Structure 1
Amino acid sequence: MKKLRYIFFGLLSTSLIITSCDSEDDLIEERLNETAVVEEDRVSGSADFTNYVALGNSLTAGFMDGALYNEGQMASFPNIIGQQMVSAGLTADFNQPDINSVNGFNSTFSNIGAGVIAGKTILDTSIPGPVPTFPGDLITAYTGDKSSLNNFGVPGARVASLITPGYGFPDVGNPYFSRFATDPSTTSILADALATNPTFYTLWIGSNDVLGYALAGGTGSDPLDAYSQAQFTADYSSIIGQLAATGSKGVVINVPPVLLIPFLRAVPYNAITLDQASADQLNTSLAGVNAALDAIVAFAGYDASDAARRKISYSEGPNPILVIDEELTDLGPFFDAITGVPGGLTPEQRAALMPYEQSRPLVEGELVLLSAGAVLGTEADGDDSDMTGPTPIGVAVPLGFDVFTGNLSGDQWYLTLAEQTAIVTARATYSGVIAGIAAATPGVEMYDIQPLFADIAGLTSAEATQLALSSAAISAADGDQGITYEGVNIAPDFSPSGIFSTDGVHPNPRGHAILANELINFINEKFGSNIPTVNTTVYRTVLFQ
């Protein structure tokens, strides 16, 4: 059988164009100096930039490549904006809770108990896909002046997190907040930010209230069931109300269309690429599954249409991934019913059908998580010595079936169409709440992030409408994938020309620089200031080997 392991990153395999980039941490300050445009007579317009504070989650913190690390923090969009405010003579230095780690801590690839501490991921162009760097560093306490911080971005934070006292409680709270909270046991993110007396702020929060469900493959509660529109409204109103009470002005950012991130796009639903010989071999070995499905229809009265969508048939070229779907009817009792009867299954045949009691091929439109890419094609029996064994995951054995225990975990690897609808509905609902609160609060302007996503993703206006995006995003959806920014083509992925980092969720340094410029232009337009933008081309895209 054809080797299967490294065939699942369809998007990247066609887009990788190796370009030179420089990732040395000691060049960050030099880059910032290169991009700063110092001009006379800078004005803040109707805003006061004396103390700019950024509130939010990992996007605000500069988390990228699966970790919070030095270069990512330095390239965060709030830090870029803050530095440009400094260059314009509008504020004091922009201070961040420095992590002091070259590689950071990557929870996905670390095993603390085994002493394996991984750091940021980089792009391995031979796969192609992300691989961790070593050594990483455990999260340590911030030792600087906590009272003078400007960046209050906390990876993992949700809307409610900003106003939760004790959110950084040692050992049980969020370690990224615990490390710089004034009192981790009692204070909240917003309380610490307000204590610095902000005069201007950016607030980008709400993404994780949708993203958590998406990154878990739709497991758990529907986002709106877990966090109702009423509670979201109350919590977001509280945050804006407390900020407005200080007399400060600011920019809020709505929830981006998370279904467009490469974490959900890099692995296509039909990632099983086969030659004809491999397809024929698989069809022969799995013929018993299809025969058993026909048998339970004929002899046990099972629904024929449901049995048909579970059948497995491979051909030359791309094929759908075979997955466990825990929402399917368990066929175990039906297989049992035709076991040992004339013309039915033998006990041995029945035992071999265990992996297929709740399995089916994916269908077009379903989204596969990037994390599945590291599992697809590996041998379910654990013998990956030559990658030609009889149990490749997602091919002969359904993705999400444990051959040793029989446990099922299929739903965590992909998003069904129904789960995507739940995500679209929640994102549109939360963004609508943000827009309404911003419009009703003097001194608050909302930056719509959706047009940038729609444009770079290459959506058509019909696709943008289907995703319930804003009218501005629908207008920006031109159907051409990628954008040209400052003369450079930018792709919607984590290739060397992409805007995302290797975790497939967060922007890379150039992505942050582009976002910073867009926000600077928005601030200048809304508040009559003239903060200078940066040259985004000096910021790198992804790190690779």
Structure 2
Amino acid sequence: MKINSIKYKWLMLCVGALFVACESDDDSISTDDEPVVIVSGEADFSNYVSLGNSLTAGYTDGALFIAGQENSLPNILAGQFALAGGGEFNQPLMNDNLGGLLLGGNVITANRLFFNGAGPERVQGMPSTEITNTLSGSFNNMGVPGAKSFHLLAPGYGNVAGVATGQANPYFVRFASSANTTIINDAVAQQPSFFSLWIGNNDVLGYATSGGAGVNQAGNLDPSTYGGNDITDPNVFAQVYSGLVDALTASGAKGVVANIPNVMTIPYFNTVPYNPVPLDAATAGAVSQAYAAYNAGLLQAEAAQLISADERAERTISFSAGQNSVVIVDEYLTDLSGLGLPSYRQTTSDDLLVLTSSTFIGTTVNNNPQLINGVTVPLEDQWVLTTPEQEDVINATLAFNQVIETVANQKGLAFVDAYEILNAVAETGVAFDEYTMNASLVFGGAFSLDGVHPTARGYAFLANNFMEAINATYGSNLPAVKARDYITLYPASM
């Protein structure tokens, strides 16, 4: 049985889309223009502290590394804040541009990705950032990759002893003021005059990127019982979020907050098509025959009125010449195990295959040409986000976003609607100076090679949206940054 290779096929887009045309180098301002005085308005940018997760830390291309941190959203903001009285902005920089982490000399996180001309590939080399070599001092960028909302309140989240068990975060271990401190305590201790808070993405993202393999914890008010891929209960989120903002504003600080994007619009879920398997007519006939007994069993189940005709049709497996859907295990189907029938069906355009499935679909099991992942061997739940799982994600996101906007209004904070902003990137594309950015992987310009986090230019675009909200709320006139100053693809070596 022969199946054509599908790895990275959907990444080979026209290189012309890399947005190299129509670029101007003329940044000059007319000599007739009066110099513009940049003011902070009602805001005080002298001591800016940012809180959040990987989107705040500067994570990009699947890792945290120096160049990415230098182009982080808050660092870009701090550069503009400096024009209106902003002070120094310290970040817990990694040791290199590889991005991996070490614990006791052992690699615990992977290096960053780069584009090798066909698809994403990990940069080779031994990382040098050992998390037990803790940093001294305080840091304005308190973004911690992987942090959920309630982690910002969790004592011991920076305790190296808890990293192996998942109770602590290796990134926070590097710069926590003590083993038992919390992220919010270390932030508030700096007495910020202005803050940014962008948190909550990971409260739904892990569930989504695991293909819904986690648990929707709606109704469970004890986050200590949650798994890493679970969705946070909306009431827990509301209590945590309100507490975070109360702590940050207790001394009169002003700030900006952002809501949670619709993660299902990012490249991680929209790069691998639902029908990625190319088959010729002979192979399609052979693999269809392999499911003949299963299809016959479905007819018997329908005759026994155990399933409807519609469900029988949904579950029937059939391949044809051309591009084919993959076979998956769907736990939401009617349980027919009593008849010896598994819960198999093929993907439809409503299903979202995760980006990591690109290296898995079409490969053989134990080099057996009869056992093909996604074809004769159905994919397990973690490779696809089904419609009911998508509903869990969107319902939680909307609930969290209502909390964020309500708290922002109550506190008079600047509010950034990241949900709508990034929806526009995905749906229509957006203009950023002389460029147009969209949510395509590699060449879209907005999202990095991990399919989740922005590029440097994507972070700059978001920074402009943050400054627009700040200017409107506090009467400042922070100028926008230029797209041309921020790249989209980091080279293999830096």
Shared fold (TM-score, shorter chain, > 0.5): yes
1:252-284 CA-partner distances (Å, limit 9, x unpaired): 101111111111111121222333333233224
Aligned to 1:362: 347
TM-superposed deviation, 1:155: 0.6
Does residue 378 in structure 1 map to residue 347 in structure 2? no
TM-superposed deviation, 1:357: 2.0
Residue 287 of structure 2 aligns to a residue whose secondary structure is helix
Count of residues paired in the alignment: 460
Rounded to whole Å, the distance in 2 between the matches of 1:527 and 1:308 is 58
Q: Is the Cα contact below 8 Å between 1:97 and 1:142 reproduced in 2?
A: no
Aligned to 2:454: 507
Q: Is the Cα contact below 8 Å between 1:63 and 1:73 reproduced in 2?
A: yes
Between 203-212 and 303-312, report the one with greater CA deviation. 303-312
Name which of 38, 43, 47 aligns with 1:42.
Answer: 38
Specify the code of the residue in structure 2 equivalent to 1:397.
V
Rounded to whole Å, the distance in 1 between the matches of 2:49 and 2:469 is 17
Rounded to whole Å, the distance in 2 between the matches of 1:446 and 1:161 is 22
Aligned to 1:31: none
Q: Is the Cα contact below 8 Å between 1:47 and 1:527 reproduced in 2?
A: yes
Aligned to 2:417: 448
Give the 3 Å change call, closer, same or farther, for CA 62–361 of structure 1 in structure 2: same
Residue 179 of structure 1 aligns to a residue whose secondary structure is helix
TM-superposed deviation, 1:331: 4.1
Between 137-146 and 251-260, report the one with greater CA deviation. 137-146
TM-superposed deviation, 1:494: 2.3
Name which of 238, 241, 258 aligns with 1:236.
Answer: 241
Give the 3 Å change call, closer, same or farther, for CA 229–285 of structure 1 in structure 2: closer
Q: Is the Cα contact below 8 Å between 1:378 and 1:393 reproduced in 2?
A: yes
Does residue 280 in structure 1 map to residue 285 in structure 2? yes
Aligned to 2:117: 125
Q: Is the Cα contact below 8 Å between 1:8 and 1:271 reproduced in 2?
A: no
Q: Is the Cα contact below 8 Å between 2:135 and 2:174 reproduced in 1?
A: no
Aligned to 1:224: 218
Residue 120 of structure 2 aligns to a residue whose secondary structure is strand
TM-superposed deviation, 1:44: 0.8
Aligned to 1:262: 267
1:232-270 CA-partner distances (Å, limit 9, x unpaired): 221111111111111110001011111111111111212
Name which of 172, 176, 181 aligns with 2:176.
Answer: 181
Give the 3 Å change call, closer, same or farther, for CA 141–536 of structure 1 in structure 2: farther
Q: Is the Cα contact below 8 Å between 1:44 and 1:90 reproduced in 2?
A: yes
Name which of 146, 156, 167 aligns with 2:137.
Answer: 146
Which residues in structure 2 correspond to 1:118-517 (within 5 Å)? 118-126=110-118, 129-137=119-127, 139-141=130-132, 144-147=135-138, 149-172=139-162, 173-184=168-179, 186-226=180-220, 227-295=232-300, 302-303=306-307, 305=309, 306-335=311-340, 357-383=342-368, 389-399=369-379, 410-442=380-412, 444-458=413-427, 480=428, 482-517=429-464
Rounded to whole Å, the distance in 1 between the matches of 2:443 and 2:260 is 26
Residue 167 of structure 1 aligns to a residue whose secondary structure is coil
Between 486-495 and 72-81, report the one with greater CA deviation. 486-495
Rounded to whole Å, the distance in 2 between the matches of 1:116 and 1:253 is 30
Give the 3 Å change call, closer, same or farther, for CA 140–429 of structure 1 in structure 2: same
Rounded to whole Å, the distance in 1 between the matches of 2:136 and 2:305 is 71
Q: Is the Cα contact below 8 Å between 2:425 and 2:438 reproduced in 1?
A: yes
Rounded to whole Å, the distance in 2 between the matches of 1:117 and 1:45 is 42
Name which of 87, 98, 101 aligns with 1:92.
Answer: 87
Residue 390 of structure 1 aligns to a residue whose secondary structure is strand
CA RMSD of aligned residues (A): 2.7
Structure 1: gaps spanning 5 or more residues: 22-33, 336-355, 384-388, 400-409, 459-479
Give the 3 Å change call, closer, same or farther, for CA 116–190 of structure 1 in structure 2: closer
Give the 3 Å change call, closer, same or farther, for CA 430–118 of structure 1 in structure 2: closer
Rounded to whole Å, the distance in 2 between the matches of 1:16 and 1:280 is 36
Structure 2: gaps spanning 5 or more residues: 21-27, 29-34, 163-167, 221-231
Residue 252 of structure 1 aligns to a residue whose secondary structure is strand
TM-superposed deviation, 1:143: 5.3
Between 1-10 and 367-376, report the one with greater CA deviation. 1-10
Aligned to 2:57: 61
Residue 365 of structure 2 aligns to a residue whose secondary structure is coil
Rounded to whole Å, the distance in 2 between the matches of 1:369 and 1:539 is 28
Specify the code of the residue in structure 1 equivalent to 2:433.
E
Residue 364 of structure 2 aligns to a residue whose secondary structure is coil
Specify the code of the residue in structure 2 equivalent to 1:432.
Q
TM-superposed deviation, 1:41: 3.2
Give the 3 Å change call, closer, same or farther, for CA 131–280 of structure 1 in structure 2: same
1:289-328 CA-partner distances (Å, limit 9, x unpaired): 3234445556x77535344322211122322111122344
Specify the code of the residue in structure 1 equivalent to 2:140.
N
Give the 3 Å change call, closer, same or farther, for CA 240–508 of structure 1 in structure 2: same
Specify the code of the residue in structure 1 equivalent to 2:425.
I
TM-score for both structures, normalised by structure 1: 0.78
